[in-house]
Structure 1
Amino acid sequence: MQATLQKTLGTFQLWGIAVGLVISGEYFGWSYGWASAGTLGFAVTALFIAAMYTAFIFSFTELTTSIPHAGGPFAYSKRAFGPLGGYLAGAATLIEFVFAPPAIALAIGAYLNVQFPALAPKTAAVGAYLLFMTLNILGVQIAATFEVLVTLLAIFELLVFMGVVAPGFATANFIRGGWAGQDAFSLAAIPGMFAAIPFAIWFFLAIEGVAMAAEEARDPQRSVPVAYIAGILTLVLLALGVMVFAGGAGDWTRLANINDPLPQAMKLVVGADSGWLHMLVWLGLFGLVASFHGIILGYSRQIYALAREAYLPTCFAGVHARFRTPHRAIVAGGVVGIAAIYSDELITFGGQTLTANIVTMSVFGAITMYIVSMLALFKLRRAEPQMARPFRAPCYPLFPAIALVGAMVCMGTMIYYNGVIFCVFAAFLVLGYGCFLATAPQRKRKGGDEQLLAPGGQ
């Protein structure tokens, strides 16, 4: 008998995964939004995205508790729209979760390079991949416990950062040039606010990854809603706090377009030789590690679920006989991520850094998945009104409509400002569709395309 995933995760562990998946977004990535929108313009963008994510999570939780499946969005869209819908959501989610880790790994390398200048950031990034792929293979209980620990340490460190820079905070610093380099708002600031959308999404990207762990939860109908809601509230408060305190610490223009804005913001207040700065560099790694480690868990479950349903080669659906983890899927996603780290010539274009373009690619996958998931929610409400829904989206249809419209606005503006990256993203979807067609005979033999389509099926 083939080994299967273990149901071992509790509510606190799922909350740790929810926050840990995202918390690196508070440490880096978001400050690229300042380069185009300024501090005040980016704050408006971030508040819009926070509202969209809050509505999305309250709606997405209905799907996660109704269909607790390792494929997450893949399973929901397959149930609503059939095999092609499942492919689109699954491929988009896979792009999101496979491209997010290389950006985080590069940030880990940048943080370590502050302490060890001789250590190349890319070398450190590859080392991080090898270490945390191994940890994920050793068991989901070990991985989840580690995730909770580093997430708590990461939250503590963000609070320490705010406390240390608070004495140097000045509102004048934050608002100076806050509208795309101008001190006063004008219509000219609006394009920059739209262009900053991917970096505001980075504050919250991947929280939906809890859905991929739902199949390993002891009681997903009860624990997933608590984990999701507590997680999004935690992240909104941390994102606003970090953004405001970093921007008010000094000349915020020095923090845009870098991978380590928090240490550099603290340096503006306490100086380069302060012990606080060295502590932040070391403890700041916990936030990056939490997300990196958690997203490896997420992408591996997505690859595993797609392979189990024969949307990818079935060899990736293997589960380790001893550790009960999808070890082949973990390694496969890592190989792609490491290749992305060394793909400067392919991914560096449009005047953006490698990290910024990887972030944008990941966000394209996320937004596509959000749109398809919200459409699936509306479809299932209409097509399967009797389906068991342990958690129902509040204020339906308002909340899912807010999430859907917000995601569509994000998609349109991102395509406009990142046309080349969108073409690369679309090319990945086309290549994936070729794999989808090639594996059709396997699905037909195993009946995989019907498994999630019957009412009540999971």
Structure 2
Amino acid sequence: MNASSSGQGHTLKPVLSTLQLWAIAVGLVISGEYFGWSYGWASAGTLGFTVTALFIAAMYATFIFSFTELTTSIPHAGGPFAYSKRAFGPVGGYLAGAATLIEFVFAPPAIALAIGAYLNVQFPDIDPKLAALGAYLVFMTLNIVGVQIAATFELFVTLLAIFELLVFMGVVAPGFSLANFTKGGWSGSDGFSMAAVPGMFAAIPFAIWFFLAIEGVAMAAEEAKDPKRSIPIAYITGILTLVVLAIGVMLFAGGAGDWTKLSNINDPLPQAMKLIVGDNSNWLHMLVWLGLFGLVASFHGIILGYSRQIFALAREGYLPAYFARVHPRFKTPHRAILAGGVVGIAAIYSDELIKIGGQTLTANIVTMSVFGAILMYILSMLSLFRLRRAEAGLERPFRAPLYPYFPAFALFGALVCMATMIYYNPLIFGIFVALLALGYAWFLATARQRAEGAAAVAEF
């Protein structure tokens, strides 16, 4: 094996600062503060969904504190794939890698279409799908040109997105009423009863949407200047930032007026602000325009995440080696960036052709993404427990606090989420399992190729 294929050709450049990693952590997720979560009100009510959201926030917080131990101990672009492979061997690596890939490849098309729909509202002559395609082309190019440029842009749009959320809370605060928030807060009832519990479970995917993909920072570990120090800071401050924003957005939106009018729409924040400032306020126009930055931050960040996962899987022989090449000038996994984009663009243009459970494919790809995320969370926590026993001497720059309770709670929460998701989405789960099975067939068929590649690397 020559140097180009085992050395520089497959090596990422460590350039990311702590602040840039924090921006990636928050930016990956922040679109979830703008849309999607309010559908949880439709099934659980404001108070019921608050309970669900707090449970999910606790799961994510304990997961991130635990996951950080893995990320700093094994700073690998494959993230969960690398941890599970080390803990459970090639099959464990395959399952975690495939789950993470499904999470990160299926989320961007939904966000791209949201960007297209937003632009269509402002400019009715623009085709939303064409705008979504344009978003892919622009941000894939930005990611290819260089991770430093991409991360700096991510920092900029993330700060703007946070600023907008703070502006929203400040503008609606004078009209906030706790009575508005609590009225009919338990699945339409003013008082809690066991009848509200099923709705709270059904709302779990929408609470997950508040935090989905924050773990993507792990896939930038090889590009961090000082991963042992910067990743824990980025993760912990990132999850705290998102929890505060999620609680604030949910509380102020629900207290602005009749929350039932916000529970089945894609733009709850502008509509909540309308209840306070009216239809023609300059504040409202600013919120609508800046709303694009929240979508862009997540879309751009997830492209970075999926590309590193494809790159890492290809480098290890789980995907064709073609995708493991790094651009000779920009030092970015350009082929992996383009590959994930092709899948996303195909999803955008197939949403009217393929229907699942009576809805378009695009309406269900977020659920598919969540299935991938939850499976990855389960495997990551199991990997943490196994590596603690099997490799007690492994250098751990950051150790999960309150071990084993934090990772155990994160694992318990993920299992509850998985069971709930399967119950409410059996057809999509079946397709998810079918995708894993197809991937496993490829995994078995390429076992010899991986063995020969590993031997060649060891010999080199």
* TM-score class normalised by the smaller sequence: over 0.9
User: Counterpart of 2:290?
Assistant: 283
Is 1:82 the counterpart of 2:75? The answer is no
Match among 16, 24, 32 for residue 31 of structure 2: 24
1:173 equivalent to 2:180? Answer yes
- Residue-by-residue CA offset, 1:41-78 (whole Å, 9 max, x unaligned): 11110000000000000000000000000000000000
User: Is 1:111 equivalent to 2:111 in the alignment?
Assistant: no
* Equivalence map 1:411-450=2 (5 Å): 411-447=418-454
Alignment of 1:4-403 (within 5 A): 4-345=11-352, 348-350=355-357, 356-403=363-410
Amino acid in structure 2 at the alignment position of 1:350: G
TM-score by length of 1: 0.95
Equivalents in 2 of 1:69, 1:310: separation in Å? Answer: 15
Q: String of CA shifts for 1:329-353, please: whole Å, max 9, x gaps.
A: 1111111111222333566443667
Q: Shift of residue 36 of structure 1?
A: 1.3
**Count of matched residue positions in the alignment of Structure 1 and Structure 2:** 451
Q: Tell me if the contact between 1:347 and 1:357 (Cα under 8 Å) persists in the aligned partners.
A: no
User: 2-side partners of 1:388 and 1:184: how far apart?
Assistant: 51
Q: Distance in 2 between matches of 1:449 and 1:26?
A: 47
Q: Secondary structure at the match of 2:92?
A: helix
Q: Which amino acid aligns with 2:307?
A: S
- Mark the runs of 5 or more structure 2 residues left unpaired by the alignment: none
- Deviation track 1:260-297 (CA, whole Å, cap 9, x = no partner) reads 22122222222222221221111111111111100000
Using a 3 Å threshold, how does the CA distance of structure 1 residues 267 and 117 change in structure 2: closer, same or farther?
Answer: farther
> Which deviates the most, 337-346 or 221-230?
337-346
Q: 1:167 to 1:351 in 2, by over 3 A?
A: farther
Could you tell me which amino acid in structure 1 is paired with residue 99 of structure 2? A
Task: Encode CA deviations 1:146-166: one digit per residue, 9 max, x unaligned.
Answer: 111111111000000111112
Mapped contact 2:347–2:361 kept (Cα < 8 A) = no
Using the alignment, how far apart are the partners of 1:39 and 1:109 within structure 2? 29
1:38 Cα deviation (Å)?
1.3
What SS does the corresponding residue of 2:12 show, helix, strand or coil?
A: coil
Query: Structure 1 unaligned runs (5+)?
Result: 452-458
Q: CA shift at 1:10, angstroms?
A: 1.1
User: Which aligned runs of 4 or more in structure 1 are off by greater than 4 angstroms?
Assistant: 345-348, 351-356, 448-451
Contact 1:126/1:338 (8 A) holds in 2 = yes
Asked whether the 8 Å contact 1:309–1:448 carries over to 2, the reply is no
The CA distance in 2 between the partners of 1:360 and 1:406, in whole Å, is 17
Please tell me whether the aligned partners of residues 112 and 121 of structure 1 are also in contact (alpha carbons under 8 angstroms): yes
Displacement after TM superposition at 1:130 (Å)? 1.1
**Counterpart check, 1:406 vs 2:396:** no
Matched residue SS, 1:423: helix
Shift of 1:430: 0.9
Q: How far apart are the structure 1 equivalents of 2:358 and 2:141?
A: 35
Closer, same or farther in 2 for the Cα pair 1:226/1:252, shift >3 Å? same
Q: Is the 8 A contact 1:309 1:449 kept in 2?
A: no
Identity %: 81
Cα deviations by residue, 1:155-206 (Å, 9 ceiling, x for unpaired): 0000001111122222222222221122222111111110111110110111
Instruction: Give the superposition deviation at 1:122.
Output: 2.3
Alpha-carbon distance between aligned partners in 1 of 2:38 and 2:130, rounded to the nearest angstrom: 24
SS in 2 for 1:259: coil
Letter in 1 for 2:414: A
Does 321-330 or 343-352 show the bigger shift? 343-352
Alpha-carbon separation, structure 2, partners of 1:357 and 1:29: 12
Distance, in Å, in 2 between the alignment partners of 1:270 and 1:354 is 36
Instruction: Specify the code of the residue in structure 1 equivalent to 2:73.
Output: S
Q: Is the contact between residue 112 and residue 281 of structure 1 (CA under 8 Å) also seen in structure 2? A: no
